[in-house]
Each structure stands twice: as C-alpha cells, then as structure tokens.
C-alpha cells in the first residue's frame, strides 16, 4: 500500500500581504538608493564611495573633502530635450587623427583653450576654444609627441594661469606656459621602459602644501621643475 503525502498550502490574506509590501518597500528602496557617507561602501551601487559620491556633497559630512566641495551656486541642471550635433568650427591646425584634446581656460579670459599636438610630430597647438583658430604654436626640436598621449593642464606655479605638461617621445616631462613658452624639461626619465612615452600626466597636490605635483604611474614629480620626488617602483630606467 502506497501512502501519499501532501504539502500543506498556506494562504495569506490580501490585506496582510498588501500591508507587508507597503511596510517593506520603503526599507528596500532606502537601502538600495541612499549613500552612507562614512561607511566605506558603495551603498547605492553607482561606483562612487562615501565622499566621492555627489550624494554626499553639501550634507555636512564631506565639506573638507578635497574631491568635491559644497558650492550650490555652481550647480546647473540643463533643460531636457532633443540633442542635435552640428559642426561649430574646424581648426586650422593639423593634429592627426588620434591626438587627444584637452580644454581649459589657460589665460583666465572666460573662454577655454584647446590644447593638442601633431601626432608623431614636434608641434603643439593652443587653439581658441570659440573659433578653433591657432592662438599659439610651438615646435620642440628635441622630441616628438607620441600618438595616444595627452597633455595635462593645471596652474603649477600659482600665478593664475594654466601650464601645460606633456611626456615626450624621449620620456621627459615638458612644461609650457599658457602662451606655449617652454618652462622646463624634466631632468628624470619617466617610468621604467619605452611604453611610458605614451603616459598621460595626472596633477594633484599630494602633500597638501598648496603646490601641485605631477603623477605618472607610481612616480611623483615636482610641478615646478619636473624633478623626481618619489617612486614606488624598482629597476633602472631605460633610454
């Protein structure tokens, strides 16, 4: 004789189910979308943690954090609507097809400049961001600019004007002022092998002394001379 077993079925009244959902939904939503600015976790899964997340800006928890500062007057939400693309200008500088562009207001006149180089050439261009015309052009006879590298822009000497930093084919740091005049050539070779000639400089005030440094890989260089200040790597640099 075979005994049949039956799984008990439980029925939840509708009013209890609805009440439970109404109670749990806000908790689930809150846990998924609100960033805790102090727990070291990416609570809202947007790829940004704590004070790096703009949700924490102006909350009073990140006011002294270097990455974002609370200045509500600077925020602008553009109106939504259809987006159309049109040619604004075409520059009169020959830059090749894969030379990255960097834009910034180098001279403080309220109009950004565009900085680019001639791929595998010695020319660097500073273009008028409003017209695309060449404002300054400089040629460096000692190096060429490898394709794929890009300049970095920052006020390295705190004079109110932006400087331009690039890595040359000879793996030296080159710094130019906002008019394209060479300020220094770094005395130290960048990196540990030839691939570092494609490096893109990063600029930050690592020691919080008010003077920016230049970072490439695990090396930190002076923003005023290009001298090597710190290195986390080993091995000899190769020419």
pLDDT tens, position by position, 43-68: 888 888 888 888 888 888 887 776 66
**Residues 67/48, Cβ–Cβ less than 8 Å:** no
Q: Is the dihedral of CA 24, 25, 29, 30 positive or negative?
A: negative
What are the tens digits of pLDDT across the range 173-200? 999 999 999 999 999 999 988 888 888 8
The domains found in the chain, sorted by start residue, are: 45-71 (no CATH), 101-231 (2.130.10.10)
Average pLDDT over residues 143-150: 81
pTM: 0.65
Q: Which pLDDT value is given to residue 17?
A: 45
**pLDDT tens-digit map of 12-25:** 555 544 454 454 44
- Tell me which residue of 160, 153, 88, 159 sits closest to 126, measured CA to CA: 153
Quickly state the pLDDT bin for 69 (edges 50, 70, 90).
low
Q: How many CB atoms sit inside 10 A of residue 199's CB? A: 21
- Pairwise pLDDT comparison (13 vs 143), residue with the higher score: 143
Residue 184 tokens read as 């220094």
| Res 239: pLDDT | 43
């Amino acid at each position: 004789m075979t005994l049949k077993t039956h799984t008990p079925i439980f029925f939840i009244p509708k009013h209890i189910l609805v009440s439970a959902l109404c109670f749990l939904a806000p908790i689930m939503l809150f846990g998924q979308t609100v960033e805790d600015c102090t727990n070291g976790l990416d609570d809202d899964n947007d790829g940004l943690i704590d004070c790096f997340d703009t949700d924490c800006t102006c909350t009073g928890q990140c006011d002294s954090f270097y990455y974002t500062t609370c200045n509500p007057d600077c925020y602008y939400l553009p109106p939504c609507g259809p987006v159309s693309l049109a040619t604004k200008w075409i520059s009169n500088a020959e830059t090749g097809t894969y030379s990255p562009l960097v834009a910034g207001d180098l001279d403080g006149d309220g109009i950004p400049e565009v900085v680019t180089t001639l791929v595998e050439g010695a020319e660097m261009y500073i273009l008028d961001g409003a017209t695309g015309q060449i404002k300054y052009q400089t040629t460096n006879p000692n190096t060429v600019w490898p394709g794929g590298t890009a300049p970095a822009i920052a006020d390295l000497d705190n004079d109110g004007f932006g400087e331009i930093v690039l890595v040359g084919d000879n793996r030296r740091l080159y710094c130019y002022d906002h008019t394209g005049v060479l300020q220094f050539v770094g005395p130290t070779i960048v990196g540990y092998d030839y691939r570092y000639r494609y490096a893109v400089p990063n600029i930050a005030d690592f020691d919080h002394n008010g003077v920016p440094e230049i970072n490439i890989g695990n090396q930190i260089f002076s923003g005023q001379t290009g001298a090597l200040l710190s290195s986390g790597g080993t091995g000899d640099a190769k020419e």
